[in-house]
């Protein structure tokens, strides 16, 4: 392969992209591009773990039921069965690849793994590597990729647009809705290059950065949703944004998550005086599903005017707490909070995007040659609300299926000639000096989304958000057309498009379900709304 041509192009180096690449490399050559350092991803920050049926006391039916219950009537049951039933084989892949999961001291399940418990799960089924599961998986996958001669990984390469028939002027009968790779900005040399491939896998992760408060790292700017939407793909269920109930409330660590596993281990939500309050909201109390916990905290904070609520794990044996949660313990200790003796101040923040690029059961989008895996995809698994620790599982299972599907189609697929792909045209653009506008726009989008499209919505808030986001979108698009592209500009453009997709989807759904709660339609309406919201610019 030349530097920028291969059978498969993978955009993103989180769990979905790396697993797709490893599986696809059995069939052909793979190029991975990623916009920052290779490990910078949501995956790297995942703490709790990966849901998987391994224990004798558990069953596929139970995991399916828990997932469907969380999804509140909108899950695609076949997708759910796929991840649940294929999960154990994908966990075995990770073990075979050397991921060092936490073990039991005695035999208890096929791999003797310690299984944690999280909200919404009726039994212990969370495979984990202490409280740094994502990092353990990411590191191991990257070391495998580095040793694989069929895979090239380019850091600091930012995918700008998917190359489709539209760019080729539907040359030689190519259909507009076919993907041939992507235009990519090398953020070091600043060159924009066409990267060609027979199949492209978007694995760009989520969009937490659309909101002012989020658990997501800075890469999560919704690039994949925006690129796919511009290219004409269907985008589904973007109104279902999961707000994690318990992010540390502390200036020194604005997006530090206090894992749900801590509540699985026994921590309870309480006021500053230690009184519990979740009993007023759900029989499972502090282990209720995330949307209920997040709304309860939001309600408590609005009622009391307090800036946060608290988690209390003081009654657990301190040595056990430190052993199970070394990362959380150290991080909080560094900020002056000893979690074995002090209450932990927490607030909800944007955590996971349940909707995304609509794909079939092989992870294929409705653009020929384009797959989407991981958080950027909407496989139907999560429905209206994601069950904790199902996202890493979904990424594992669907990246495997997508790579197998693409691999089986490889032989019959021609690569588009290099000369057919026009160079990136930025004639007429200038180096703009007004970068201050960009950072202001970013903060404005995030504030609008937090204030009007957050945990509780209403018609008035949504139409106010839509007016502001549409105006910002126009201004940003004008700026983009006149300006030499840079990473902040590209991210801002993708962020505003993704924000608009969320607002439009939320405004469409005239009911409350799962993660979408609106005061104008507080009831669930199965008659009209037991269906996905779908957006397309075609
Ligand atoms: C703090 C935290 C804790 C979590 N804990 C859990 C958990 O315990 N269990 C669980 O199941 N889920 C958890 N999640 C969710 C889970 O981590 C993510 O859903 C999952 O890691 C997403 O994987 P991904 O491969 O789809 O995307 P990511 O891991 O986010 O990777 C996306 C990749 O795409 C790259 N990228 C993005 N845009 C571009 C572009 N334009 N060009 C090039 N590259 C690009 C990024 O740089 C990155 O490498 C957690 C999430 C967070 C933030």
- State the distance from the centre of ligand 1 to the C-alpha of 519, rounded, in angstroms: 31
The residue whose CA has the least distance to atom 44 of ligand 1 is 34
Q: Looking at the domain assignment, is residue 199 inside a domain?
A: no
Handedness of CA 137, 221, 536, 176 (dihedral sign): negative
Handedness of CA 314, 320, 326, 328 (dihedral sign): negative
Q: Looking at the domain assignment, is residue 460 inside a domain?
A: yes
Which ligand 1 atom is nearest residue 158's CA? Answer: 42
Which ligand 1 atom is nearest residue 12's CA? Answer: 34
Q: Looking at the domain assignment, is residue 454 inside a domain?
A: yes
Which ligand 1 atom is nearest residue 255's CA? Answer: 1
Q: Looking at the domain assignment, is residue 298 inside a domain?
A: yes
Give pTM, 2 decimals.
0.94
Among 121, 373, 391, the mutation site with the greatest number of ligand 1 atoms within 8 A of its Cβ is: 391
Give me the domain span that covers residue 459: 435-535
Q: Which of 349, 378, 399 is the last residue of a domain?
A: 349
Phi, psi of 363 (to 5 degrees): 80, 15
Q: Looking at the domain assignment, is residue 168 inside a domain?
A: no
**8 Å CB contact between 12 and 138:** no
Q: Of the candidates 265, 277, 341, which has an alpha carbon nearest to the alpha carbon of residue 309?
A: 277
- Exposed e or buried b per residue across 463-483, where buried means at least 16 C-beta atoms within 10 angstroms of its C-beta: ebbbebbeebbeebeebeeeb
Domain holding 459: CATH number?
Answer: 1.20.58.100
Distance CA 506, CA 158 (A): 29
Split into its structural domains, the chain has a count of 2
- State the distance from the centre of ligand 1 to the C-alpha of 134, rounded, in angstroms: 9
130: left (phi over 0), alpha (psi -120 to 50) or beta: left
Burial class (CB in 10 A: 0-12, 13-18, 19+), 222: buried
**8 Å CB contact between 219 and 35:** yes
Strand order, beta sheet including 115-116: 50-51, 126-127, 115-116
- The catalytic position among 290, 295, 401, 457 is 290
- State the distance from the centre of ligand 1 to the C-alpha of 14, rounded, in angstroms: 6
Helix axes 77-96, 390-409, angle to 10 degrees: 90
The residues lining ligand 1, judged by C-beta closer than 6 Å to any ligand atom, are 11-17, 33-36, 40-43, 45-50, 133-134, 158-159, 203-206, 215-216, 219, 223, 257, 352, 374-376, 389-392, 395
Distance CA 431, CA 429 (A): 7
The residue whose CA has the least distance to atom 33 of ligand 1 is 12
Q: Give the three-class secondary structure for 373.
A: coil
517: left (phi over 0), alpha (psi -120 to 50) or beta: beta
Among 18, 23, 34, 42, the mutation site with the greatest number of ligand 1 atoms within 8 A of its Cβ is: 42
Q: Which of 349, 367, 394 is the last residue of a domain?
A: 349
Chunked mean pLDDT (size 10), the chain, 538 residues:
85 98 98 96 94 95 97 97 98 97 82 89 94 95 98 98 84 71 96 96 98 93 98 97 93 82 93 96 89 90 89 97 93 96 95 98 97 98 96 98 98 86 86 78 94 94 98 95 93 98 98 96 98 95
Q: Of the candidates 448, 2, 385, which has an alpha carbon nearest to the alpha carbon of residue 193?
A: 2
Q: Give the three-class secondary structure for 110.
A: coil
- State the distance from the centre of ligand 1 to the C-alpha of 206, rounded, in angstroms: 6
The residue whose CA has the least distance to atom 31 of ligand 1 is 14
Residue 174's pLDDT is what? 58
Q: Looking at the domain assignment, is residue 429 inside a domain?
A: no
Residue 34's pLDDT is what? 98
Q: Which of 296, 318, 349 is the last residue of a domain?
A: 349
Q: Give the three-class secondary structure for 142.
A: helix
- Exposed e or buried b per residue across 109-130, where buried means at least 16 C-beta atoms within 10 angstroms of its C-beta: bebebbbbbbbbbeebbbbbbb
Distance CA 415, CA 417 (A): 6
Q: Looking at the domain assignment, is residue 515 inside a domain?
A: yes
Among 116, 134, 211, 255, the mutation site with the greatest number of ligand 1 atoms within 8 A of its Cβ is: 134
Q: Of the candidates 217, 461, 233, 232, which has an alpha carbon nearest to the alpha carbon of residue 360?
A: 233
Q: What is the pLDDT of residues 482-508, one digit of tens each?
A: 999 999 999 999 999 999 999 999 999
- State the distance from the centre of ligand 1 to the C-alpha of 378, rounded, in angstroms: 14
63: left (phi over 0), alpha (psi -120 to 50) or beta: alpha
- State the distance from the centre of ligand 1 to the C-alpha of 227, rounded, in angstroms: 17
125 an active-site residue? Answer: no
Residue 459's pLDDT is what? 98
List Cα–Cα distances, 395 to 51, 403, 409, 513, in angstroms. Answer: 12, 12, 21, 24
If you count DSSP H runs as helices and E runs as strands, how many of each does the chain have, helices first? 14, 18
Q: Looking at the domain assignment, is residue 384 inside a domain?
A: no
Q: What is the pLDDT of residues 297-355, one digit of tens each?
A: 988 987 888 889 999 999 999 999 999 899 999 999 999 999 999 999 999 999 999 99
Residue 172's pLDDT is what? 53
Which ligand 1 atom is nearest residue 44's CA? Answer: 29
The residue whose CA has the least distance to atom 27 of ligand 1 is 205
List Cα–Cα distances, 274 to 27, 69, 150, 291, 305, in angstroms. Answer: 57, 31, 56, 22, 17
Residues 6+ apart with CB under 8 A from 365: 202, 228, 233, 234, 357, 358, 359, 371, 372, 377
DSSP letters along 93-109, please? HHHHTT----B-SS--S
Domain holding 327: CATH number?
Answer: 3.90.700.10
């Amino acid at each position: 392969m030349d530097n920028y041509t291969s059978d498969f192009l993978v955009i993103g180096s989180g769990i979905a992209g790396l697993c797709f690449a490893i599986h696809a490399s059995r069939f052909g050559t793979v190029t991975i591009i990623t916009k920052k350092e290779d490990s910078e991803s949501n995956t790297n920050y995942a703490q709790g773990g990966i849901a998987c049926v391994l224990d004798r006391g558990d069953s596929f039916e139970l995991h399916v039921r828990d997932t469907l219950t969380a999804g509140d009537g909108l899950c695609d049951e076949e997708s759910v069965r796929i991840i649940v039933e294929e999960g154990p084989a994908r966990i075995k892949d990770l073990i075979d690849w050397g991921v060092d999961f936490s073990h039991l001291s005695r035999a208890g399940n096929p791999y003797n793994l310690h299984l944690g418990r999280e909200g919404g799960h009726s039994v212990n089924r969370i495979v984990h590597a202490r409280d740094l599961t994502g990092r353990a998986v990411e590191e191991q996958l990257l070391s495998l990729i580095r040793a694989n001669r069929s895979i090239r990984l380019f850091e600091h390469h930012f995918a700008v647009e998917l190359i489709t028939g539209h760019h080729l002027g539907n040359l030689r009968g190519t259909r507009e809705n076919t993907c041939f790779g992507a235009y990519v900005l090398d953020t070091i040399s600043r060159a924009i290059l066409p990267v060609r491939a027979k199949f492209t896998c978007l694995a760009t992760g989520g969009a937490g950065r659309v909101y002012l408060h989020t658990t997501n790292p800075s890469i999560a700017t919704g690039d994949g949703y925006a690129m796919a939407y511009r290219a004409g793909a269907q985008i589904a269920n973007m109104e279902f944004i999961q707000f994690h109930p318990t992010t540390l409330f502390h200036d020194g660590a604005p997006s530090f998550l206090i894992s749900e596993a801590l509540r699985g281990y026994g921590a309870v939500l309480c006021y500053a005086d230690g009184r519990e309050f979740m009993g007023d909201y759900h029989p499972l109390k502090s282990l209720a599903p995330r949307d209920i916990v997040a709304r309860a905290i939001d309600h408590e904070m609005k009622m009391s005017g307090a800036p946060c609520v608290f988690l209390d794990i003081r009654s657990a044996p301190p040595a056990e707490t430190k052993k199970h949660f070394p990362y959380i313990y150290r991080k909080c200790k560094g900020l002056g909070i000893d979690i074995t003796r002090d209450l932990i101040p927490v607030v909800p923040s944007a955590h996971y995007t349940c909707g995304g690029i609509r794909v079939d059961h092989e992870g294929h989008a409705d653009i020929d040659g384009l797959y989407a895996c991981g958080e950027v995809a909407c496989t139907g698994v999560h429905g209206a609300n994601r069950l904790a620790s199902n996202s890493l599982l979904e990424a594992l299972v669907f990246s495997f299926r997508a790579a197998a599907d693409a691999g089986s189609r490889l032989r019959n697929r021609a690569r588009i000639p290099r000369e057919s792909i026009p160079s990136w045209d930025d004639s007429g653009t200038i180096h703009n000096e007004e970068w201050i506008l960009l950072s202001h726009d970013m903060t404005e989008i995030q504030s609008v989304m937090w204030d009007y499209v957050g945990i509780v919505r209403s018609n008035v808030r949504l139409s106010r958000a839509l007016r502001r986001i549409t105006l910002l979108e126009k201004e940003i698009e004008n700026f983009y057309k006149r300006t030499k592209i840079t990473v902040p500009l590209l991210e801002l453009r993708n962020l505003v498009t993704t924000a608009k997709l969320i607002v439009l989807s939320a405004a469409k759904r005239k009911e409350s379900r799962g993660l979408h709660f609106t005061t104008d339609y507080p009831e669930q309406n199965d008659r009209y709304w037991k269906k996905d919201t779908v957006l397309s610019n075609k």
